[in-house]
Amino acid sequence: MYTDFFDIKTTIEDSIKAQEKFLKSYESMIDVTNDHANQTPRELVFEEDKLKLYHYKKSTRTVSKIPTLIIYALVNTPSMMDIGEDKSFIKKLVDSGLDLYLIEWGFPTADDKYLTLDDYINIYIDDCVEYIKKEKGVDKINLLGVCQGGTFSLMYTALHPEKIKNLVTMVTPVDFSTDDGLLFKWGKYLNPDKMVEAYGVIPGEFMNTGFLTLKPLSLMVNKYVNIINDLDDPDLLSNFMTMEKWIFDSPGQAGMAYKEFLNSMYRENSLMKGEMTIGGKKVDLKNITHPILNLYAERDNQVPNAASIPIEECVASKDYTVKSFPTGHIGMFVSRRSQEEVAPTVVDWLKNHAR
């Protein structure tokens, strides 16, 4: 009677097969060497300290004579936007005719701990903008800001409005008073002064710990279980490992800038209130009268919609377009929807605002 309900031999055989499959998946992941990130052809055109400015090589006729500079967050690297030919957000922009540049911030070391927001906004970003303007012979360029890079883009445009033509913000926070999402809840109670005093440069591992806890444990485990079923697809496995590398390969954070950002944004919400100063100058978002395209992800678990939507009420732009997509924070850049809807929205809007 007992053996009718519990077949010991079959159970042992199934267990052995499962272990063999797991070991095979482990070996396959170790053997993966093809990194699918940063595949779109590009050229290093400008360097300053750790910063690198890249220009993407044209693959088709340019649809806008105004070059576009992508400004990414200091957390993680922008390689997430250029993973694999079939779903690279950057490749889609380039193939659609945008003249595209990208800032890579690099990995801060101990000698960078005194870098401030003034250094990032008024020196690094401004030097890149000036380089592009001179290289292309234009008076203004477009900015495309992603996440914290979008917040930086708002700051820069408010401080240097004469240098910007159009502004695109993607999954960009401006109102940090919301309690939606763990990161925005925790940010109000962190003590960045003590953290910077202890570390100088906040380790990337520390940042990873915070961001990884935003996801339920079941999702974090399931992604590894699910990939076992795709061992026979080397491209899929390589893409998976590329994304894993991106998740865990986080730069450290320059102490002073980190402290300024957390205190000013999460604890004081000073940018939203119009009370923020950078380099001794007030950052007044009402200085932004430029055309703006604001894109956000409806299922974003890192930048809540409540933090992104209020951009419209902060600026003075009369040409303001907002559009949401039923995806998550990363899905805005590495999904079929990104290829079919998000990137074309950016290209069409910039093309229509090229004059």
Catalytic residues, which ones?
Answer: 147
Nearest to 184 by CA among 209, 214, 164: 214
Taking residue 113's Cβ as centre, other Cβ atoms within 10 Å add up to 19
* Three-state secondary-structure class, residue 53: strand
Give the position of tokens 């240097």: 160
Nearest to 79 by CA among 237, 206, 251, 234: 251
CA 190 – CA 205 distance, rounded (Å) = 16
Element (H, E) at 158: helix 148-159
Nearest to 99 by CA among 141, 134, 130, 127: 141
319 DSSP 8-state letter: S
What is the amino acid identity at position 192? P
Q: What's the farthest any 2 CA atoms get from each other in the chain?
A: 86
What is the amino acid identity at position 236? L
230-237 contacts, C-beta under 8 A, 24 or more apart: 231/21, 231/24, 231/25, 231/28, 234/32, 234/34, 235/36, 235/84, 237/28, 237/29, 237/32
